């Protein structure tokens, strides 16, 4: 049997299984699930779970590099801000890249959240003590595999089943956190592998009397595709205590606002939740800054979150989680947050129990699952936040010229259309002061199907991108506006430096001897780059955002972020920089796509989406 035919059969079987679960009776449509998250929150009896994620990016902005006294004061301010926003639960990143923010016998000190060395105190102990003193529940947020953007981060050898479980045991044995929280970064594996880990983590948490929950991407199909077996977790006891799907879309999804995607996805998750588990829906407060072109609701309304929480209440869901802490403080999100806080004056019509045997509750819900029925509903594929999913059946193909909420005109973007008509094979230093010499600039690859050279494609995209960015209010510096130039890679970076640019985006296309290879890669320097390591974090963030936005809009698969110190144009840059390899010109299909006028609009929209995300997060 051919692989393609087998793939079709497997896909059909999985779709049938999912359909059966959607049609099966469900206990959660009418019954309120018991709250399990706010056991230490002083306001938990009076209100729903109002949680906020504090990500490793928030660490970098608000907590990194501080001595004990400064750290303590900073975290006290953070908890005050969370309480001031009306929240009662903190989901704190403690392991993000196969490292830790506490002294561990398994994982090294975090380089992303701390400085990769022992800070001389125990940050997690300080945070737990302060949070509980102020009446906040605090849950330890873990990226179990240290997996992001298609690759294992940090020491990949640590991403084993036994290490993950032992690491969680270590946390629960030493700290009075209220629970363990997994995010949605699951590498593609057989579902049985993930299920074995999830079940063992659940057992470990219950050994200490703590809860365990997972926050998967809101796209059901994408979870199933990577082996994140949400169907089993929500229908068979013994895996999780709660589910927190990231439903990051409005009810005016698409450019014309015609898709009620939030409601569609919410009903899909409610329908799949056969156990009636508590469902704390992840809400994208940060999108009030990004205003993606593919989701009109964020551009025309500043009450999206309030409406979504109202809908959660109407569907008897016990709470929500906001992404992320930084957005609580952002002026761009203030209107959304104020509308939400106004809703707090009207408490939910249901109350919450804050004690009891959660396991017994789940068993009872499971046994009574046949008491209620539900309508079948299917959602549309779309995009999630913390992880990157591609739209498969929502048409978000047109450019947006909506206003930029964070005053884009104050930002200058340098764009380098890679290569030129004639290469210059003289040599130049690979970085400032380097004795290593490298060709100044090459001519690039060529389309295997179209015959169009890379230097023409990159200029075509750069010119469209420039015009669209100018319409949004950005300042733009274009390294070249014709193909007949002679500008070396070092000179291109120096032009970006001299322009006062805030970011430097270098447009390229990929090539391979294997014509079947496809996908998009972004590149930046490594943290040990000898020329501009101080720009690593911002360049890495830029690379991640560009990759995320581009793959979400175009549907081209992600090949991840690659760190390299061999690129002259990166090494000479004194501003955050990324190279995007937009697709493979040596693959006939991607070559034709990238040289299609309509698809080029998507490419540019994706690049702008990534740029907007970068400035929103940075």
| Share of residues in the chain with pLDDT > 70 (%) | 82
Instruction: Tell whether the model's pLDDT for residue 23 goes beyond 70.
Output: no
Phi first, then psi, for residue 6 (nearest 5°) are -60, -40
pLDDT band at 615 (very low <50, low <70, confident <90, very high): confident
Phi first, then psi, for residue 615 (nearest 5°) are -70, -30
Q: State the DSSP H helix or E strand holding residue 426, giving kind and residue range, or none if neither.
A: strand 424-429
How large is the average pLDDT for residues 545-565? 91
Highest mean pLDDT among 46-50, 74-78, 441-445: 74-78
Task: Give the per-residue pLDDT at 4.
Answer: 45
Burial group, residue 77, by CB count within 10 angstroms (0-12, 13-18, 19+): exposed
How large is the average pLDDT for residues 289-301? 91
pLDDT band at 404 (very low <50, low <70, confident <90, very high): very low
- Cβ burial 320-359 (10 Å sphere, 16+ → b, else e): bbbbbbbbbebebbeebbebbeebbeeebeeebebeeebe
In contact, 401 and 611? CB cutoff 8 Å: no
| Share of residues in the chain with pLDDT > 90 (%) | 72
**Encoding tokens for residue 289?**
């800054």
- Nearest CA to 261 out of 294, 228, 224 is that of 294
Instruction: Tell whether the model's pLDDT for residue 401 goes beyond 80.
Output: no
pTM: 0.64
- For residues 610 and 34, the model is more confident at 610
Q: What gap in Å lies between CA 415 and CA 460, rounded to an integer?
A: 12
Q: Count the neighbouring beta carbons within 10 Å of the beta carbon of residue 444.
A: 20
pLDDT band at 343 (very low <50, low <70, confident <90, very high): confident
- Upper half-sphere CA count for residue 16 (Cβ side, 13 Å): 6
Q: State the DSSP H helix or E strand holding residue 192, giving kind and residue range, or none if neither.
A: helix 191-207
How large is the average pLDDT for residues 513-532? 96
Q: What gap in Å lies between CA 403 and CA 396, rounded to an integer?
A: 18
How large is the average pLDDT for residues 131-157? 92
**Encoding tokens for residue 221?**
């199909």
Distances (CA, A) of 607 to 87, 292, 326: 34, 11, 23
Highest mean pLDDT among 145-149, 160-164, 222-226, 398-402: 160-164
In contact, 170 and 206? CB cutoff 8 Å: no
Cα angle 610, 612, 617 (rounded to 5 degrees) comes to: 95
Q: What gap in Å lies between CA 273 and CA 220, rounded to an integer?
A: 12
Rg of the chain over Cα atoms, rounded to whole angstroms, equals 24
Q: Which DSSP symbol is given to 528?
A: T
Q: What gap in Å lies between CA 214 and CA 142, rounded to an integer?
A: 10
Task: Give the per-residue pLDDT at 356.
Answer: 31
* Helix axis angle, 3-23 to 261-272, nearest 10°: 80
Instruction: Tell whether the model's pLDDT for residue 364 goes beyond 50.
Output: no
Q: Which domains does the chain have, with CATH numbers?
A: 23-371 (3.20.20.80), 408-617 (3.40.630.40)
Strands 520-524 vs 577-584: parallel, antiparallel or unpaired: antiparallel
Task: Give the per-residue pLDDT at 35.
Answer: 59
Average pLDDT of the residues of the chain: 84
Task: Give the per-residue pLDDT at 383.
Answer: 31
Instruction: Tell whether the model's pLDDT for residue 590 goes beyond 80.
Output: yes
Q: What gap in Å lies between CA 274 and CA 28, rounded to an integer?
A: 7
Task: Give the per-residue pLDDT at 132.
Answer: 95
Q: Is the peptide bond before 181 cis (omega within 30 degrees of 0)?
A: no
Instruction: Tell whether the model's pLDDT for residue 409 goes beyond 60.
Output: no
In contact, 266 and 21? CB cutoff 8 Å: no
- Upper half-sphere CA count for residue 218 (Cβ side, 13 Å): 27
* Per-residue model confidence as pLDDT tens digits over 92-119: 999 999 999 999 999 999 999 998 999 9
How large is the average pLDDT for residues 26-39? 50
Task: Give the per-residue pLDDT at 28.
Answer: 40
How large is the average pLDDT for residues 562-588? 97
Instruction: Tell whether the model's pLDDT for residue 540 goes beyond 90.
Output: yes
Task: Give the per-residue pLDDT at 387.
Answer: 35
**Encoding tokens for residue 433?**
């002061």
* Per-residue model confidence as pLDDT tens digits over 478-500: 999 999 999 999 999 999 999 99
pLDDT band at 542 (very low <50, low <70, confident <90, very high): very high
| 3-class DSSP assignment, residue 63 | coil
Instruction: Tell whether the model's pLDDT for residue 282 goes beyond 90.
Output: yes
Instruction: Tell whether the model's pLDDT for residue 346 goes beyond 80.
Output: no
Instruction: Tell whether the model's pLDDT for residue 393 goes beyond 90.
Output: no
At which residue do the structure tokens 């070396």 appear? 488
Burial group, residue 24, by CB count within 10 angstroms (0-12, 13-18, 19+): middle
Q: What gap in Å lies between CA 290 and CA 4, rounded to an integer?
A: 38
């Amino acid at each position: 049997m051919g692989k393609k035919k087998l793939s079709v059969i497997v896909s059909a079987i999985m779709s049938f299984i999912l359909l059966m679960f959607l049609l099966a009776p469900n206990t959660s449509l009418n019954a309120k699930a018991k709250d399990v998250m706010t056991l230490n929150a002083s306001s938990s009896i009076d209100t729903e779970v109002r949680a906020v994620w504090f990500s490793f990016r928030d660490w970098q902005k608000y907590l990194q590099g501080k001595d004990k006294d400064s750290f303590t004061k900073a975290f006290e301010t953070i908890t005050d801000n969370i309480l001031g926003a009306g929240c009662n639960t903190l989901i704190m990143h403690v392991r993000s890249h196969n490292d830790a923010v506490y002294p561990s016998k398994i994982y090294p000190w975090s380089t992303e959240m701390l400085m990769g060395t022992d800070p001389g105190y125990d940050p997690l102990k300080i945070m737990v003590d302060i949070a509980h003193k102020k009446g906040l529940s605090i849950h330890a947020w873990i990226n179990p595999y240290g997996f992001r953007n298609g690759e294992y981060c940090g020491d990949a050898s640590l991403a084993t089943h036994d290490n993950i479980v032992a690491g969680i045991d270590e946390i629960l044995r030493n700290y009075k956190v209220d629970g363990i929280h997994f995010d949605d970064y699951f590498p593609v594996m057989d579902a049985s592998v993930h299920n074995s880990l999830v079940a063992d983590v659940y057992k470990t948490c219950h050994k200490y009397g703590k809860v365990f929950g997972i926050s998967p991407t809101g796209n059901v199909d994408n979870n199933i595709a990577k082996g994140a077996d949400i169907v089993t977790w929500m229908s068979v006891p013994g895996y999780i205590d709660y589910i927190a799907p990231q439903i990051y879309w409005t009810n005016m999804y698409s450019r014309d606002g015609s898709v009620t995607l939030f409601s569609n996805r919410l009903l899909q998750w409610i329908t799949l939740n056969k156990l009636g588990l508590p469902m704390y829906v992840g809400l994208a407060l940060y999108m009030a800054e990004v205003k993606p072109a593919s989701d009109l609701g964020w551009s025309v309304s500043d009450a999206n979150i309030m409406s979504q929480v109202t809908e959660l209440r109407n569907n008897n869901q016990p709470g929500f989680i906001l992404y992320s802490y930084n957005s609580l403080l952002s002026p761009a999100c203030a209107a959304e947050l104020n509308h939400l806080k106004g809703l707090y004056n009207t408490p939910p019509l249901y109350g919450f129990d804050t004690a009891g045997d959660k396991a017994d509750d789940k068993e009872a819900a499971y046994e009574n699952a046949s008491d209620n029925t539900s309508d079948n509903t299917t959602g549309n594929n779309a995009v999630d936040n913390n992880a990157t999913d591609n739209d498969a059946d929502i048409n978000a193909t047109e450019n947006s010229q909506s206003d930029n909420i964070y005053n884009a005109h104050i930002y200058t973007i340098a764009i380098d259309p890679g290569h030129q008509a004639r290469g210059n094979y003289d040599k130049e230093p690979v970085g400032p002061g380097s004795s290593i010499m490298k060709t100044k600039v090459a001519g690039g690859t060529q389309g295997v199907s179209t015959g169009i050279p890379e230097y023409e494609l990159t200029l075509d995209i750069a010119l469209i991108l420039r015009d669209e960015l100018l319409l949004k209010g950005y300042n733009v510096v274009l390294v070249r506006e014709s193909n007949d130039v002679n500008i070396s890679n070092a000179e291109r970076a120096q032009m970006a430096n001299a322009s006062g640019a805030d970011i430097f985006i270098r447009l390229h296309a990929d090539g391979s001897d294997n014509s079947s290879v496809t996908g998009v890669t972004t590149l930046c320097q490594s943290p040990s780059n000898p020329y501009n390591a101080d720009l690593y974090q911002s360049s890495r963030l830029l690379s991640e955002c560009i990759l995320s936005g581009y793959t979400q809009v175009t549907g081209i698969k992600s090949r991840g972020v690659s760190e390299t110190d061999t690129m002259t144009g990166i090494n000479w840059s004194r501003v955050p920089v990324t190279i995007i390899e937009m697709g493979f010109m040596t693959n006939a299909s991607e070559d034709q796509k990238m040289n299609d006028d309509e698809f080029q609009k998507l490419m540019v929209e994706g690049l702008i989406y990534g740029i907007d995300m970068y400035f929103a997060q940075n």
